[in-house]
Amino acid sequence: MIREQITKMVTEALGEAAKNGDLGGLTPENTGCLTIEKPKNPEFGDFAVNVSPLARHAKMPPPKIAEEVSKYFSADYAQINIVAGFINFKIKNEKLYDCIKEIIVKNKDFGRNNLGNGEKLMIEYVSANPTGPLHIGHGRWAAVGSSLAELLKFSGFDVYQEFYINDAGNQMNNLFESFLIRIYQVNGYDFAIPTDETGKKNYYPGEYLLDLAGKYNGENPDKFPKILESLYISEYCDETGRYIISPKTETFKPEEGEKTPEKLREELLKYVSGEILRQQNALLARLKINFDNWFSEASLYAENKVESAINKLKDAGKIYEKDGALWFKSSEYGDDQDRVIIKQDGVTPTYLTADIAYHYDKIQRGFERLINIWGADHHGYVARIKASIAALGKDSDRLEILLGQLVNLVISGEQVRMGKRRKMVTLEELVDDVGVDGTRFWMVMRDINSTLDFDVDLAKSASDENPVYYSQYAHARSCSILRTAVSQRPDRETGEILPPLFSKQELDELFNPDTFDVTRLTPLLNTEEQREFDSTRALILKLESFDDLIASAAKSRAPYMIARYVLDLAKDFHHFYTFTRVLNADKEVMKARLTLVNATKQVLANAFMILGVCAPEKM
């Protein structure tokens, strides 16, 4: 808001000065775009612009350029001072009060913008295999993806959230065999999940499958004998790292209505993957993450979309055969080499093949922009997907891929192994321990381009060092101040119960956006106490910057900027509260300060909404 106004002032002043010949060789066409920044020394002002980059064209020293440009600024908005090549702006108090008024008037919509202009955007994230519990990395993508979705909605995009279910491919065969072994185990048979290096790659050894096998057995007490009659596990093969699971086709003759071995396999796989998916969905919903659609990879094959995508690439001349395999000419579109999409057997697609079909399907569904959140280990995959979009005749720039680094879980000062295959910490265990708010805030508070050290002990603590507690306490404190203003209170000397300082109706009228009187804010900065003045002014400027922050974070696809802002705002508010008596002052002063407290409460709530973190009224 203020930054935008100053940018406009600088642009117009430069244009006028250049047009009038005050800037030597500088013309309106080469005035360029200067950056508005915060001075390192706040005594210089609230905002500053460095005109030094213009010296090359103007053939003038930067201080002289600053002097000439400053002649064209209006004194109504800010006080101007020049230090070397910097023009510094100290915003007038009246303009700061207008910022508070805007917060009161816009309320829940303060910070909302129309950057997206209604563009249809799909964000796909988490997209875990339905083969085991969600791990800590999934938690980071979940929190970042959900917060980014809310940020983009707040910025005018038409956002659609999708979870891609990887329910096709060899991992499903591995899941079935692992689950079948567990069913034999719960029925007393001596089969074990392989522990050698080759075998571990082919099975899911987590005990969660033992629990699901017990659940299935309990729900279907008569099913196992039929499974045993139709399927059996023979000896373990060291070379393949697998048990041999065969249908007893010769001895088992299903009666009418009974399932064949193939149908039994299908039933078991559907059950176990469905249960795992249900658990994933429930955990994500608990984290306040709700997808508009859960898209099945298997549906791409069932609806012939994979075959259709391959045929489109063939028709475009982007497929060739080599050594019995089909290759996609991805190197023509920036990939470092061509990629196999059908293996040498002439039938089996690669993992890439379904992804090509899936992304083409996204575009066919009418989404103008696609955002994927992937782990950093998928870095080499980016060029392949973008190449496929271009080869299918679409603009590959419509796809944005955000790559995130790992999460290091720290408990009692030590890193803990994480995953879903052994006795490691899962996302659900973390949420149980830390809570939803703690998990979400910590997961999103760092740029996903950097590794996150998640300190579990700190995340659970009720201390100022815990960013979740510290920021939420600022909101709870603002609510407490507002409650106290309309509550009875004891006289500290006599113990007599005194009436409220304000009635609820008075505060409602004070904060009414339709009748808000900005002149009531005049006492805010009308104080001789320097620390009171400085902390109040800093808080107002921080509140005002939320507008610009939202637009900047949305453009950068960086919800961590919101978490960082919340911490800074909480710090400024706690600082303000330390040096400023909000209550038990002159009534008009109290009204002004209560309005600032209410504005702070609202901005914190708006930011927490984007982060998916609750804004507590009490702590």
Contact between 516 and 104 under an 8 Å Cβ cutoff? The reply is yes
The alpha carbon of 433 is separated from its chain's Cα centroid by a whole number of angstroms, namely: 21
Q: Domain 127-287+405-460: which topology? A: Rossmann fold (3.40.50)
Q: How far apart are CA 327 and CA 339, in angstroms?
A: 5
CB contact burial 192-226 (16+ within 10 A = b; e otherwise): ebbeeeebeebbbbbebbbebbeebeeeeeebbeb
* pLDDT for res 451: 94
The residue with tokens 């100290």 is 90
Q: How far apart are CA 566 and CA 562, in angstroms?
A: 6
* pLDDT for res 535: 96
Q: How far apart are CA 305 and CA 313, in angstroms?
A: 12
CATH fit for domain 2-91, picks 3.40.50.1400, 3.40.50.720, 3.30.1360.70, 3.30.70.2860: 3.30.1360.70
Contact between 540 and 96 under an 8 Å Cβ cutoff? The reply is yes
The alpha carbon of 98 is separated from its chain's Cα centroid by a whole number of angstroms, namely: 31
* pLDDT for res 32: 67
Contact between 428 and 598 under an 8 Å Cβ cutoff? The reply is no
Strand residues in 51-99 grouped as ranges (E):
78-83, 86-91
* pLDDT for res 117: 97
- Strand ranges of the sheet holding 86-91, from the earlier edge strand across to the other edge: 36-37, 47-50, 86-91, 78-83
* pLDDT for res 420: 42
Q: How far apart are CA 557 and CA 369, in angstroms?
A: 13
3-class DSSP state of 287: coil
Contact between 560 and 446 under an 8 Å Cβ cutoff? The reply is yes
Q: How far apart are CA 68 and CA 80, in angstroms?
A: 12
Strand partners, 79: 90
Ordered DSSP codes for 138-183: HHHHHHHHHHHHHHHHHTT-EEEEEEEE--SSHHHHHHHHHHHHHH
Contact between 589 and 523 under an 8 Å Cβ cutoff? The reply is yes
Left (φ > 0), alpha (ψ -120 to 50) or beta: where does 543 sit? alpha
Running DSSP on this structure, what letter comes out for residue 30?
A: G
Amino acid identity of 540? I
3-class DSSP state of 297: helix
Amino acid identity of 134? L
**440 Cβ contact partners less than 8 Å away, ≥ 6 residues apart:** 143, 146, 147, 287, 288, 611, 612, 613
* pLDDT for res 419: 46
Left (φ > 0), alpha (ψ -120 to 50) or beta: where does 612 sit? left
Amino acid identity of 402? L
Residue 233 dihedral angles phi and psi, to the nearest 5°: -110, 120
* pLDDT for res 199: 87
Q: Give the number of other CB atoms < 10 A from CB of residue 255.
A: 6
Q: How far apart are CA 366 and CA 587, in angstroms?
A: 57
Q: How far apart are CA 50 and CA 72, in angstroms?
A: 16
* pLDDT for res 337: 95
Looking at domain 467-611, its CATH superfamily turns out to be Isoleucyl-tRNA Synthetase; Domain 1 (1.10.730.10)
Q: Give the number of other CB atoms < 10 A from CB of residue 59.
A: 10
H helices, E strands: number in the chain: 23, 19
Contact between 209 and 272 under an 8 Å Cβ cutoff? The reply is yes
Q: How far apart are CA 73 and CA 87, in angstroms?
A: 11
Low-confidence residues of the chain: pLDDT under 50: 419-423
Q: Where are the domains of the chain?
A: 2-91, 127-287+405-460, 467-611
The residue with tokens 């609230």 is 46
pTM of the model: 0.92
Q: How far apart are CA 288 and CA 126, in angstroms?
A: 14
Contact between 409 and 136 under an 8 Å Cβ cutoff? The reply is yes
* pLDDT for res 478: 98
Rg (CA), the chain: 31
